[in-house]
A and B are shown apart, each in its own frame.
Chain A
Amino acid sequence: QQPVQSPQAVILREGEDAVINCSSSKALYSVHWYRQKHGEAPVFLMILLKGGEQKGHEKISASFNEKKQQSSLYLTASQLSYSGTYFCGTEPTSGSARQLTFGSGTQLTVLP
């Protein structure tokens, strides 16, 4: 079952912050975050494997609440290059390992 992402779209000014949420109805083993720019392939941002773990990459970080089966992606002091569609991919604790189910995506637009 597809994880639910919110919001569907967000528009920011350069320097502003944003949060993208990903929620699953299944118990999760991991959550992956990807960014896709128009006409390009998805590019990996980070993976979260443990409940409550928070990882970061420059000004982009994420958290994973295993009990709530939720993950959030935090974009701090957004830059123009952050524009794109963000997808979470979830890997359940049961069934085929390594199989990701992607959310429908959150379109992020950063304006100057």
Chain B
Amino acid sequence: DAGVIQSPRHEVTEMGQEVTLRCKPISGHNSLFWYRQTMMRGLELLIYFNNNVPIDDSGMPEDRFSAKMPNASFSTLKIQPSEPRDSAVYFCASSEGVAEQFFGPGTRLTVL
């Protein structure tokens, strides 16, 4: 298996622009997680899906952030409009049941 796939790997955009991050989980995994990592705040859970349904989005910082999982093999995290403080590395992870989470390589987002 190719593991969790994320795209793009790097994104540089200007403040106010819309940003869409993409994730393909490992086939057969029924849980998907979006995390954000910064030096100041560490690794934060943004939202968690189980069987394509959002279970907990309490970590989503603002209404500017939204996430979807239209099917078992694809998820998006959208930021609209983006702000400089959104600059971070965004990780997607997937797991099967009560087991380890496999992290994707991450998307490094820079908002100018």
Contacts and interface: CB of A to CB of B under 8 A. Distances in A.
Interface of A: 2, 30, 32, 40-44, 47, 49, 87, 89, 96-105
A106 B57 CA distance: 27
A99 B56 contact: yes
Please classify how large the interface on chain B is, using the bins under 10, 10 to 19, 20 to 34, 35 or more.
Answer: 20 to 34
B100 A32 contact: yes
A89 B48 CA distance: 15
Given A100-B45, A101-B45, A42 B98 contact: no
Contacts of B42: 2, 102-105
Contacts of B104: 41
Majority SS at the chain A contact face: loop
A100 to B, nearest CB: 7
B34 interface: no
A41 B31 contact: no
Nearest to A103: B42
Contacts of A99: 45, 48, 55-56
A104 B43 CA distance: 7
Given A41-B106, A98-B50, A99-B56, A47 B45 contact: no
Contacts of A40: 105
